Copies of this chain bind each other. A is one copy, B any other.
């Protein structure tokens, strides 16, 4: 890649653009109070306190001002001020948020010098000063003036604290080239059409309630059908490999996580529960520690190994409200989790079995071949992990050899391991080119030591076992957000919550339509009857909006021919076939879990 496009260069460009944004805003509205403005994934933002509200209509003026600043070829000049001088400076500038930031740096971090950057205009004049650690372009001209765009306004509390001032955040998209910006904008446009939050509503799959709270989706009958069909498929694949279901409670004493090591690492992310007897409980953020307790409830002989426990169950994390997003980031998420307790010599075979399940599952639900990331520990940060380097090496070598054995398209990533062991992470590519981490297989040689898990081997000795953690969909909520957007709501027939819509043209065709309906239902096909109270056109549109794979229209001709006029909503084709043919092909498509419906 050319140097200009290096992530670091991109970061500097976006960071510099945040300064440009703030400078432009102050030029247009000099009384604005400025706060902070970091680079982000696709550009940058800056938070302001405006003296009067701005709107999207102001974007062109701001962009124009930003381009003017860029084209002036301003540079950056660094200056360290003493905290006292810095506070004095910002007080004079009537920028109280900056004063507060300086005070905090002084009080909490004991800073003696406060780093500032000034922009210098063409005549050597200071055009804008910000409190900043640095990391900028040399000259603002390095920022491509045609490859950024102000995207949106959003409210944001100062320091994320709802008791403080509400600020206005301006988001800017910024890329190295105009082409890349346009590609990003087109992707956004396509993603917007497929947005799972929009489709979730149109297809009546899930809902959020103000009374229940953000990040806590409630699943309607249709959404629950979808979840359960996908989860049932995972279970079918697992059952064939000897898995058994177990059931655990969703809370625990904190002692469980002290033993597992999760308490030390993740206690701030947990929902904490204080009981009436003043005990510390927590809602479970993962299932492995609970599952160890089922394994440990009996003495296990080598003849009992492996023990394979599967459970689809909900975990909880105390996410910040601002970070929640549809089903992608929630506070309660359901994992299709499994833990295999086995002898070290059995690990390879067990991992290969899971790998097979992952491949079958993702191919069947419509994703192409998955990329594989071997997520390894960071040997320079051993304090982040449980266990000894030699145990890590053994586990990582094992996974690498398995990945080679599977001839996987894999790459290695240091520092991406779980704190208890290395992982194989699977990455799916969606229909609009986005990559998503989905399934995971984790080899854990540490947790069994912490929980003292063993089996009695052939010699009658206690033998330390290993654990394999595996999730196929991972979080069902997150997976469904990907799945819904990948298919744009047009699901494969077997998994569609409603498979067939029944539309009698008018009252005289209702008897026939009802007969068709019961024959379909007898075969377990999920139907929705749209009676002639509404016009045919309106009902067809309703069926299309709900993305019901087949819309069957039945009028005089269909009644007399024992046929159905079939609209295939995905292919947009329409054909008329004998009902018996429709039924036969539909049953086949469902039984075979085919991706595309055969008719139309």
Contacts and interface: CB of A to CB of B under 8 A. Distances in A.
Count of identical protomers in the assembly:
2
Contacts of A213: 251-253, 255-256, 279, 281
B275 A246 contact: no
A297 B207 contact: yes
A72 interface: no
B273 A272 contact: yes
Given A211-B293, A283-B283, A320-B276, A217 B271 contact: no
Interface residues of A, number: 62
A277 interface: yes
A218 B248 contact: yes
Interface stretch (A224-232, A459-467, A546-554): A224-232
A318 interface: yes
A300 to B, nearest CB: 12
Contact of A253 (B212, B252, B290): B212
B293 A249 contact: no
Most chain B CB within a 10 A radius of its CB, from A223, A248, A256: A248
Given A224-B244, A276-B320, A277-B321, A249 B211 contact: no
Contacts of A223: 247
Contacts of A406: none
Nearest to A451: B211
A112 B505 CA distance: 84
Contact of A272 (B210, B227, B274, B293): B274
A256 B212 CA distance: 6
A314 interface: yes
Nearest to A223: B247
A204 B209 CA distance: 41
A133 to B, nearest CB: 26
Contact of A276 (B216, B219, B268, B277): B268
A223 B227 CA distance: 24
Contacts of A332: 249-251
A259 interface: yes
Nearest to A271: B273
Interface string A395-417: 00000000000000000000000
Nearest to A275: B318
A529 to B, nearest CB: 10
Contacts of A314: 249-250
A277 B215 CA distance: 14
Given A273-B272, A276-B320, A224 B212 contact: no
Contacts of A220: 246, 294, 297
Interface of A: 162, 204, 207, 209-213, 216-221, 223-225, 227-228, 244-253, 255-256, 259, 268, 271-277, 279, 281, 283, 289-290, 293-294, 296-298, 303, 309, 314, 316, 318, 320-321, 331-332, 334, 531, 533
10 contacts: A212-B248, A212-B256, A213-B253, A213-B281, A218-B293, A219-B247, A224-B245, A250-B314, A275-B318, A277-B321
Given A250-B314, A272-B273, 18 more contacts: A162-B277, A207-B293, A207-B294, A209-B256, A212-B290, A213-B253, A213-B256, A216-B249, A216-B251, A216-B252, A218-B290, A219-B248, A221-B309, A224-B247, A250-B283, A251-B332, A271-B273, A271-B275
